[in-house]
Amino acid sequence: MEKYELLFFAASCLVFLTGAILQARPARNPIIWADVPDIAVIRAGDTYYMSSTTMHMNPGLPIMKSTDLVNWELAGYAYDMLVDNDAMNLQNGKNAYGAGSWASSLRYHNGIFYVTTFSSTSGKTHVYTTKDIENGPWEESSFAPKLHDHTLFFDDDGRVYMLHGCHNLRLTELTSDASAVKPGGFDEVVIKEASLVAAPQINLGAEGSQMLKVDGKYYVMNITWPTNDMRTQIIHRADKITGPYEGRVVLHDKGVAQGCLIDTPEGDWYACLFQDNGAVGRTPWFVPVNWEDGWPVLGIEGEAPLTLEIQIDQQDLGNIVVSDEFDRRDGDPAFPLAWQWNHNPVNKDWSLDARPGFLRLTTGRVDAELTQAHNMLTQRTFGPVSSAMTAIDVSKMQDGDFAGLTAFQKKYGFVGVKMQGSARSIVMVSTASGSPEELDSVPLKQDVIYLKVDCDFRDRTDKAYFYYSLDGKQWTRIGGLLQMEYTLPHFMGYRFGLFNFATKAAGGYVDFDYFRVDDQISDVH
């Protein structure tokens, strides 16, 4: 080999090896910088599965999968529609904001996957089962009452239970297939005043139960919130499932709490928890665990670390958020898994076929404002910054119609088009004052308009900015910034949303050409 060839070969190897070394790096918390709350995690062989809360969004009860505990992909949903009633249909003045389905439990038992949830909207406990967690189909059974923040548990003796409740935790026996409460079965409070292991005064009683059995002992993980303090993780253990239980605080740092324990095939343990992370929502944090004297010890010297010893080549959001050109081929699903409807959709009023390559939203009724609008299609915002843009053909809007792109929560903002008589205008609307307020308006003379929303979640600044463009290249900011705020009435992080609603008469429609997300935002606001 010639000298110069040898030098080139050596340099190439060095670049390759250096790149490989630089690629491998510790995983960082939050594991997912987006709203994925109330997580439940299991391992089946070398694959981890996670379920979480999606409240009033449909489809619901998402199932995510991972092979490294860090990078997660949406695999599917347990249901397309939780319940068909006025609240979930946004009818007769009712809604399911802050309700829908809450904290789930995920299990694998005798070749069957179980994911369960409960709902104040249905008044029931819902049980979904499948033999194929990634592809389904899922079968549903449900029963009353709704068992609050329950954990499903299959014991070694064949008996099946749900542990549930708040502060006083009750163990209720189920039938062998977990489809109903067992008549005459065990049903007693087994952990009384569970919160008291953290503090004598509390804002939030112990809830979010997750039970597991390790080396013959039963462990129950819970969150509680001492007065004038932070969200705190506690655990109780017992030699018998019925108790008596003893408890202690296992993590008191950064408000990271509520979740479960999971082991890896190599024998390492982690706590899968989450943190309230401002307007972006509740974000998953994973914390290393060691066992001492039969107790799990969470964190590094009592702290939830920002980095983990899990070495990865990349860490991203996978398919949890996606861009969509609305192009569909025969056999394609209607929507990528990242999309969810706000409440139940009205299927006759949306279409991907009426104009191929476009999403058509037709107004099916008259609504006063955005929170009551049917067929808002949403995706999660994400941190540290995120941007969404779309292009809309508004030529078929009618008098009184509004269509556009929103950063959506109770205190929402949107940039869109308003039709007033035969005149169109680009508007920015905010509800920061408590009710919808038009902060800016610009006349619009053309049929196609480009819209963009930037969200900045760095250091919990939680600000959204709104833009329009006449050519998709030069952007103009419109209206004021929206100071985003996580509110309990909606109980979820901000969402990007595409919408079209009528305030005077139904029948108008708009065509969305695409939806594109980015992890960069404009430098100047």
215, 248, 253, 212: which is closest to 231 by C-alpha?
A: 253
- Distance separating alpha carbons of residues 486 and 493, to the nearest angstrom: 6
Phi and psi based region of residue 123 (left: phi greater than 0; alpha: psi -120 to 50; beta: remaining): left
Contact between 468 and 478 under an 8 Å Cβ cutoff? The reply is yes
278, 481, 503: which is closest to 382 by C-alpha?
A: 278
pLDDT of residue 24: 83
User: One-letter amino acid identity for 433?
Assistant: S
Contact between 212 and 260 under an 8 Å Cβ cutoff? The reply is yes
Phi and psi based region of residue 196 (left: phi greater than 0; alpha: psi -120 to 50; beta: remaining): alpha
460: its two tokens:
């919990």
Contact between 460 and 409 under an 8 Å Cβ cutoff? The reply is no
Q: Before 145, cis peptide (omega within 30)?
A: yes
pLDDT of residue 524: 59
Q: Considering just the CA atoms, what is the radius of gyration of the chain in Å? A: 25
- Distance separating alpha carbons of residues 234 and 420, to the nearest angstrom: 56
- Distance separating alpha carbons of residues 314 and 288, to the nearest angstrom: 20
Phi and psi based region of residue 482 (left: phi greater than 0; alpha: psi -120 to 50; beta: remaining): beta
- Distance separating alpha carbons of residues 478 and 395, to the nearest angstrom: 21
C-alpha distance from residue 431 to each of 283, 464, 482, 484 (Å): 25, 13, 9, 10
Taking residue 95's Cβ as centre, other Cβ atoms within 10 Å add up to 21
Return the beta strands (E) in 356-462 as ranges.
359-362, 377-380, 385-393, 401-408, 413-420, 423-430, 437-444, 448-456
Which residues make Cβ contacts (< 8 Å) with residue 123, sequence separation at least 6? Answer: 144, 145, 146
User: One-letter amino acid identity for 520?
Assistant: Q
Burial 166-202 (b: 16+ CB within 10 A, else e): bbebbbbbbeeebbebbeeeeeeebbeebbbbbbeeb
- Distance separating alpha carbons of residues 432 and 410, to the nearest angstrom: 9
pLDDT of residue 422: 95
pLDDT of residue 3: 38
pTM of the model: 0.94
Tell me the per-residue pLDDT of 163-218, one tens digit each, with 9 for 90 and over: 999 999 999 999 999 999 999 999 999 999 999 999 999 999 999 999 999 999 99
Q: Mind listing the pLDDT tens digit of every residue in the chain (525 residues)? A: 443 343 334 344 433 434 444 478 999 999 999 999 999 999 999 999 999 999 999 999 999 999 999 999 999 999 999 999 999 999 999 999 999 999 999 999 999 999 999 999 999 999 999 999 999 999 999 999 999 999 999 999 999 999 999 999 999 999 999 999 999 999 999 999 999 999 999 999 999 999 999 999 999 999 999 999 999 999 999 999 999 999 999 999 999 999 999 999 999 999 999 999 999 999 999 999 999 999 999 999 999 999 999 999 999 999 999 999 999 999 999 999 999 999 999 999 999 999 999 999 999 999 999 999 999 999 999 999 999 999 999 999 999 999 999 999 999 999 999 999 999 999 999 999 999 999 999 999 999 999 999 999 999 999 999 999 999 999 999 999 999 999 999 999 999 999 999 999 999 999 999 999 999 998 755
Domains recognised in the chain with CATH numbers: 340-518 (2.60.120.200)
Which residues make Cβ contacts (< 8 Å) with residue 211, sequence separation at least 6? Answer: 151, 153, 163, 218, 219, 220, 221
Which residues make Cβ contacts (< 8 Å) with residue 309, sequence separation at least 6? Answer: 26, 288
User: One-letter amino acid identity for 234?
Assistant: I
pLDDT of residue 13: 42
* Three-class secondary structure assignment of 184-209: CCCEEEEECCHHHHCCCCEEEEEEEE
